[in-house]
Each structure stands twice: as C-alpha cells, then as structure tokens.
Amino acid sequence: MVIARLAGSGCAFPARLEQDVLWDEFFAPRLGHSRVAERLFRAAGVRHRHGVANPLEEDVSQWSTSQRMERFIADAPALGAEAVAAALADAGLDASEVGMFAVASCTGYSTPGLDIRVASALGMPDDVQRLLIGHMGCYAALPGLGAVSDYVVARRRPAVLLCLELTSLHAQPATGDLSQVVTHALFADAAAAVVLRPTGPGPGVVDIAARTDSATAGHMRWEVTDQGFRMGLSPEVPAVLGRHVGPVVTRLLEEHDLAVSDIGAWAVHPGGPRILEIVEHRLELPPGALGVSHGVLRERGNCSSATVLVILDELLRGGQSKTGKPAVMMAFGPGLTLYTALLSRPD
C-alpha cells in the first residue's frame, strides 16, 4: 500500500504564562474570588501555557471581533512561519519543494489568508496548491492530515500542514457562566506543522476515521460574536466521547488487523484531564500510555487544533514512535466529532 510519510515536524509558541499567576492576579478579582470558579480553574490540569495576549498586560475581553482579527493577522504569520520552517528543516526540505500547503485555524481569518502570507514569507513556489481549513475546532489537524496525505500519494510531491491557534485573543467578558471559567483555564496559543513526502523512513499515514454524534451537537460550540469567538462547553462532553471512542478505535484497528495492544504510541488531544481519563479507561490503556498528552496539557494547555501535532512532535522527538509498533492519533471537537488516524511504524 502506498502511503504518505511523516518526514518532519516543528512547533512555535508565543510568550509563556503561569497559570497560578493568571488566576491570582487576573481571573480571581474579576470573578469575585469565587471558590467554585477557583476549583474549576485549578482542576483544568494546566500549569503553564502560552499566549500572544497576556491578560496581565492587556485585557482583550472587551475588544471587538474586528480588533481581534487585526491582532491575529499581526501575530499569526510570524508564528506560523517559525513552525513551518522548523518542520521543513527537520525534514531536510526547502520551501521551494512544497507542492501543497494546508492551514487549519478556528481563531482568526483574513484575506489574503494566513496560508498566502506564510507561503510567501518562506519562499514556497507561486504554483503551490493551498488549502485553508477553518472553524472545525480542536480536531481539524486530522482531516487536514488526511487531505495532505492524499495529495502526497496522488501527486508524489511533498506537502505541509500547519495548525495555528491564538485562543488568547478570544477572552470573554467576566460572567457567571462557569463553563467560561473552564474555557479560560484550558485554552492556549500554539503553531505546529508537519511535512509529508511520498517516500522516506518516517511513520506513514495509513488511515483516517471519523464519527460525528450530531444529536449532541449543542454540547460544544464555537460561536462568532461581536466580542470575538465564544466557546460553549457542556459537562456532558466526556461522557458522549466515552460512548464512541472504543467502537471507533476498535473498528479502525480491526480494518488493518490490529488491536489496541498492538499500538506503541498514542497522541490524544487533551480536551481536558477528564477526557484523557475516559480514553484511558475505555481503551484499557496501560499506565503511562497517555503520558505525553498529559504533559502537553500541563505545560502547554489545550491549543485547539495545534495540540495533537504538538503531542506528535514530542512523541517523534522523544523516540516513543520508534517502538517498532504503529501509533494512533485522536482528537475531538464540535459536532460532537471524534477523529482518529492510524500511523504505521517508521521504516
């Protein structure tokens, strides 16, 4: 079977923020020092994260959507170019060799878009094919990975996928809505990129699978408002995902004559600590199987679509992908939607 190979990866992050300091100096005073809100904030499992907008220096919660989009396009291109340049260097490729460039983001838009700006900054050819994946949320990396993989197999040329999210630009005004406390505690900024090529020693993208439970679509929302994009999260999300993760992963693996015990590495999007616990329990994973996912949540936060690529980057650099076994990527988002990808062992 002909499959696209993961040839390189790279990440870029804006300034580092201390979670406890953010609570003590910014959120606590605005939420009336609520003990309930503090428990929810500290239970997010995040110690550090990154953001282009540090609320201790500038409070963007009252900004208009127009102001937030202007700031996105001011900060996003350089961050995206840094991540893509790192991935190309890791792959040993020049930007001029890229045949397709896909960009996923749900936190900022402009025309000319981020895809055009980054491609131009790095010197990609003027005939590079581009794809912009917008507003899919936290799982967007995996349909993006599927699209660029198909291009590589069909055209036999390298392709790049960039996921870039600046969630810090969408801080909302303080309200009594406790789901907003969870949102403000979890989400962070990052850019992550992968390079795929038709041949090479890296893991191969074997298959992509998805399932959307449209009956529970209202449990997770990402709404465009006059004051930025507003996240809506239901506490039922982990339970809904728990109903689907086992059947979806089992079916994907069985189609390739594999079982959970055959998987050597897991890159699971940490929507929150409870979601990781659900995945561990439903799939009966051994202790430590999701250690990298927990670590990224703790030190980077939930970076929306970029997160699963950040986890993959750490797995690749840490040698966990070189176990001689296949790997599975998994991400969740609005819909409710579950996406999974099966990667072959590196050649």
Residues in the chain: 347
CA angle 328, 331, 335 (to 5 degrees): 140
Amino acid identity at 340: T
What does the alpha-carbon distance between residue 305 and residue 329 come to, in Å, rounded to a whole number? 12
Is 138 one of the catalytic residues?
A: yes
Amino acid identity at 259: A
Q: Tell me how far CA of residue 132 lies from CA of 58, 114, 250, in angstroms.
A: 30, 8, 31
Contact in structure between 13 and 190 (CB atoms under 8 Å): yes
Given 106, 138, 163, 303, which residue is catalytic? Answer: 138
User: CB atoms < 10 A from the CB of 101, how many?
Assistant: 26
Bridge partners (DSSP) of residue 103 are 132, 162
CA angle 292, 208, 89 (to 5 degrees): 55
Contact in structure between 160 and 102 (CB atoms under 8 Å): yes
CA-closest candidate to residue 222, choices 340, 134, 102: 134
Amino acid identity at 297: L
Residue 132 host element (H or E): strand 129-134
What does the alpha-carbon distance between residue 190 and residue 12 come to, in Å, rounded to a whole number? 6
Annotated catalytic residues are: 138
